[in-house]
A and B are shown apart, each in its own frame.
Chain A
Amino acid sequence: MKTFKMLALFVIVVLMMIMGVSGCKDTETSTSTAVEETAESEESTTETAEPEEQQIVLKIWDMYTDVGHGSGGEAMETLIDMYKKANPNVEIERTVIGSENMQDQVSLSMAGGTMADLVETWPACGVLSGYAQDGEVYDMTDKAEEFGWFELMNSYLMLECSTKGRLYGLPWEFDRPVIYYNKTIFEELGLSEPNNYDDFITILDTIKADGKYDPITIGNGNRWPICNLYDEIRAVTVGKEKVSDLFFGDADWDDPEFVEAWTILLDWIEKGYFIDGFNGVKYGDSNSNFIMKNAAISIDGSWILSNLVEAEVEGEFEVGVFPFPMINEDLPPTSLAGSGANWIISSKSAPEVQEEAMNFLNFILSDEAAQIWIDGASVIPGYSDIDWDRFTVDPLMAEVYEINEGKEDTTWSHVTVPESVAETLYSTFQSVAGLTMTPEEALNQIEEDWEEAKAEGRVWNPLQ
């Protein structure tokens, strides 16, 4: 009985505390906004002659939290402060939303009419073009031309943010595929970076035969990693033309050449190149396998680099990178490129707010701002031909981009197709990797959904 009384007492005390705290907060904010409002109205009455001085409130959502390595939250705050200092009439309200949750929040808030003015979200291509077709996002084209973004930014990434010849997003994170390897293990086994696909297979066979380490770590529990790997194999097997044919032309998902790419991947699985149970291992745990030296190679992307570099220091080994070797060497070198994150502006915001948002974006693309961003968030904005002398960058980071430079760029499927097709893609590919479905069956099913999306006009169409 006594404990219950104590409990009740505790609850009451806490409740009163909350009432007190939230009450205080409420009054505080309400008074401060009231003060602001009066100040504003005074301003507007006295300074109606100068409309430029009008107070603008810009609401921003981004995915950069304060915690974790390369999380970028602080850098974002710095940039916002710099911008506010230069533009005293602009008030910026920033809200952080986790990257896992951003996509859902954007589509929900579009329906609820509650989206912020300026949002940093993902992915581009099919999903962004969906927003554009519904008239939910602001058309950046004219302003972007004025700012010279089309010269400044990578043309392929700009295409990913475009629909029917109009630009709706700013590519803010340049994603590249990377094969990371543990230099210490490679030395131990007398291996060196491969020059071609045969070399690569020999390396995998050697590690497998040695038996001490798993050749490749991949965590398909999150369902997208095997899609990424398939895309890479497809790119270096059939080349850019054929992949473009798939997304913009007449090629079908179950085209024999695409089936062939899956057969190669299946061969890898059957030879046991991957860690045990890779189909149910989470992405993070897969990275741990690399850091814990269970696996010699991790096939992944530029986005994870900063986490690996941090771990590299702790795990006392050196990380190296090499590009995915061409399987069909008759083709020009091909790689993948993607806009990992992009800024969009709400079509429902007031014109002056939209303009301010564009100005803000143009500001963060300046060299000075970008350097702060690269240092703080370990993210490279989607510039064209990155001149590495322009920025100070971690050498490994620079290497990740250099090894893919000058290649023909194609794209990752699961961020290119509409979300409904992506769901089918995830599930069927995971089934194929689990050997419960054949590649033909999976690709057939995706083709069906793809045709349906096409008929409904929901697929990405960047050009007029």
Chain B
Amino acid sequence: MERYIKKMKNLRNNLLGYTLVLPAFLIYGLIVLLAVFQNFYYSFFKFTNITSYEFAGLDNYINMFKDKVFYTAIGHNLLWAFMIIILLFLFLTIAVFLSKIKSRTILGAIYFLPATIPFVVSAIMWGWIYNPNFGILQSIADLLKLNFLRQQWLGDPKLAFYSLFLIGVWTYFGFTVIIFLSALQNIDRSIYDAARIDGATETKIFFHITLPAIRNTLSFLIVFSIIMSMKVFDIIYVMTQGGPGYSTEVMSTYIFKLAFRGQNIGYSSAISIILIILVLSLAVTVLRRNQKE
């Protein structure tokens, strides 16, 4: 009898669960998953243009490992992710400071403001800021006699990547500050008070109380940042198209150019598959590690 009830309950749960998930899964599957499978399929073909292709086995995957641009692109993605993760601690500092003042919500909102901007608009804004001939930074340099602001922000191959990264930070940091802030506010005040009575310094409190308490938030943001960094596309494509040369090329821009301009859809699909595997494994590794701790 008990088993029967359990079985019925299982059946009921399965039925209910699948009914609720089905509509979402159908659209997702039809639009996105199907496209991923097609990608996987295409990755074994050599395209001479968008309509004609022939089976090529693993050629695309083998070619990838000989492709210098591919390595450059992947390196840029990893560098982007690495820098964002380092900067997370700066954003955490902002959140800690915010949690100490009254007008924290409104400041959090101001920090989030750039994320509301369509990237086609931010590309225009930052295009003016960086313009080396009559741009905003140039004018500020003239006004305040700050010569270090006189740079070829997007034209210098050594600098362009970091200029774009700054735009990435601009749109992203507000989000992380808000998430950190909420995690901080969930920490029990009395622990702090107790620590202070025991004479702990602010730094000690931060490392021994605050940081452990927000560990989950931190690992969530690290995973989220990795995903964002591996996907980064829009702003780079609109501002530099991966240039000068390959100095701002990332995997997404390379994929886009190969698929649309190079008409090399098989190869671009192979890179997409590798990119998906890479992101998944990075995300899973970080999450696993966090769970162990």
Using a CB–CB distance below 8 Å, which chain A residues touch chain B? 104, 107-108, 110-111, 130, 134, 136, 214, 220-223, 275-282, 285, 288-289, 292, 294, 418-420, 422-423, 426-428, 430-431, 433-434, 436-437, 456, 458
Given known contacts A110-B51, A134-B49, A285 and B131 CB-to-CB distance under 8 angstroms: yes
Given known contacts A275-B133, A280-B240, A104 and B260 CB-to-CB distance under 8 angstroms: yes
**Contacts across chains A and B counted by CB atoms under 8 Å:** 117
Chain B interface, number of residues (Cβ within 8 angstroms): 36
CB within 8 A of B157: which of A282, A428, A431, A458? A431
CB within 8 A of B247: which of A134, A288, A434, A456? A434
Tell yes or no: B114 within 8 A of A by CB. no
B127, A420: Cβ atoms under 8 Å?
no
**Minimum distance in angstroms from B127 CB to a CB of chain A:** 6
- The chain A residue with its CB closest to the CB of B152 is A277
Q: In the complex, what residues of B have CB within 8 A of residue A111's CB?
A: 50-51
Bound together, the chains give a CA A428 to CA B68 distance in angstroms of 13
Q: A221-B240, A277-B132, A422-B261 are in contact. List 9 more A-B contacts (CB 8 A).
A: A111-B51, A134-B49, A275-B132, A280-B152, A280-B240, A282-B127, A418-B263, A427-B245, A434-B157
**Minimum distance in angstroms from B159 CB to a CB of chain A:** 9
Q: In the complex, what residues of B have CB within 8 A of residue A108's CB?
A: 50
**Minimum distance in angstroms from A323 CB to a CB of chain B:** 26
CB within 8 A of B244: which of A289, A420, A433? A433
B262, A420: Cβ atoms under 8 Å?
yes
Tell yes or no: B181 within 8 A of A by CB. no
Q: In the complex, what residues of B have CB within 8 A of residue A214's CB?
A: 133
Given known contacts A221-B154, A279-B155, A280-B156, A419 and B246 CB-to-CB distance under 8 angstroms: no
Q: In the complex, what residues of A have CB within 8 A of residue B155's CB?
A: 220-221, 276-281, 434
Summarize A's interface: helix, strand, loop or mixed. helix
**Minimum distance in angstroms from B224 CB to a CB of chain A:** 26
- The chain B residue with its CB closest to the CB of A276 is B132
A223, B156: Cβ atoms under 8 Å?
no
Q: In the complex, what residues of B have CB within 8 A of residue A279's CB?
A: 152, 155-157, 243-244
Q: In the complex, what residues of A have CB within 8 A of residue B245's CB?
A: 427-428, 430-431, 434, 436-437
Q: In the complex, what residues of B have CB within 8 A of residue A222's CB?
A: 241
The 9 A-B residue pairs with the shortest CB-CB distance in the complex, in nearest-first order: A431-B245, A280-B155, A280-B154, A277-B132, A277-B152, A277-B155, A279-B155, A420-B262, A111-B50
**Minimum distance in angstroms from A373 CB to a CB of chain B:** 30
Given known contacts A221-B154, A277-B153, A110 and B50 CB-to-CB distance under 8 angstroms: yes
A294, B157: Cβ atoms under 8 Å?
no
B264, A430: Cβ atoms under 8 Å?
no
A420, B133: Cβ atoms under 8 Å?
no
Tell yes or no: B147 within 8 A of A by CB. no
A288, B134: Cβ atoms under 8 Å?
yes
Tell me which residues from 141 to 159 in chain B have a Cβ below 8 Å from any Cβ of chain A: 151-157
**Minimum distance in angstroms from B72 CB to a CB of chain A:** 10
Scoring B residues 113 to 153 as 1 if CB is less than 8 Å from chain A, else 0, what string do you get? 00000000000000100111110000000000000000111
CB within 8 A of A294: which of B134, B151, B260? B134
